């Protein structure tokens, strides 16, 4: 296996694991932004000078610059997917807590309910 293949696979798994662990931390947010920045630089460079990106890619053993860009994009996409999922879960859990709190506070108190249901029998 080519070295670049190993590096890219490790990166995919690494980003996945990082984002899986927690999405709330500032460190993770910073890392996400750095990676996104890197991808932007790579994208801009490939637009301005496709040849340079190809040279860089070939230095890593990847055939074309566009391929290198594609790999970066795949990593970024997967990362964004996982991070969105995590954030949505966090938001849902806050909505759940809020709804539960409202539901319980508005409900007939258990002691009152107990007395009423006892009286029914």
Partner 1 sequence: MPHDVERPSLGPTRPGDGHPETWVVIPLFREEAAIEAVLDELRGHFTHIVCVDDGSPDASAARAEAAGATVVRHGVNLGQGAALQTGIAYALRDPEMRSVVTFDADGQHCATDASAMVDQLERDGLDVVFGSRFLDDRTELDRLRRMVLRLATLYTNTTTGMPLTDAHNGLRVLSRQAASTIRLRHDRMAHASEIVQQVGRSDLRWAEHPVEIRYTDYSRSKGQSLLNSVNILVDTLLG
Which positions touch partner 1 (CB under 8 A)? Answer: 20, 85, 89, 92-93, 95-96, 99-100, 102-104, 106-111, 113-114, 117-118, 120-121
Nearer to partner 1, 12 or 45 (CB): 12
Q: How far is the CB of 101 from partner 1 (least distance, A)?
A: 9
SS3 (DSSP) at 25: coil
Q: Minimum Å distance from CB 79 to partner 1?
A: 14
CA distance 38 to 45: 11
Which ranges in 22-109 belong to alpha helices (H)? 26-48, 50-60, 65-106
Longest dimension (CA), the chain: 85
Task: Tokens for 25, please give them.
Answer: 């931390």
Candidates 59, 70, 84; CA nearest to 12 is: 70
Q: Which DSSP state fits 64?
A: -
Kindly tell me which of 52 and 112 has the beta carbon lying closer to partner 1: 112
Kindly state the smallest distance separating residue 22's Cβ from partner 1, in Å.
11
Of 41 and 91, which CB lies nearer to partner 1 in the complex structure?
Answer: 91
Q: Which is nearer to partner 1, 47 or 95 (CB)?
A: 95
Query: What's the min distance (Å) between Cβ of 73 and partner 1?
Result: 22
User: Residues with Cβ < 8 Å from 37, sequence gap 6 or more?
Assistant: none
């Amino acid at each position: 296996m080519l070295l670049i293949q190993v590096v890219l696979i490790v990166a995919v798994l690494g980003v996945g694991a990082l984002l899986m662990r927690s999405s709330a931390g500032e460190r993770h947010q910073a890392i996400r932004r750095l990676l996104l920045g890197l991808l932007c630089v790579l994208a801009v460079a490939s637009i301005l000078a496709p040849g340079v990106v190809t040279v860089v890619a070939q230095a890593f053993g990847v055939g074309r610059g566009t391929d290198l860009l594609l790999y970066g994009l795949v990593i970024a996409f997967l990362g964004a997917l996982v991070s969105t999922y995590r954030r949505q879960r966090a938001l849902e859990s806050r909505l759940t807590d809020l709804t539960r709190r409202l539901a319980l506070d508005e409900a007939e108190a258990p002691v009152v309910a107990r007395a009423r249901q006892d009286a029914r029998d």
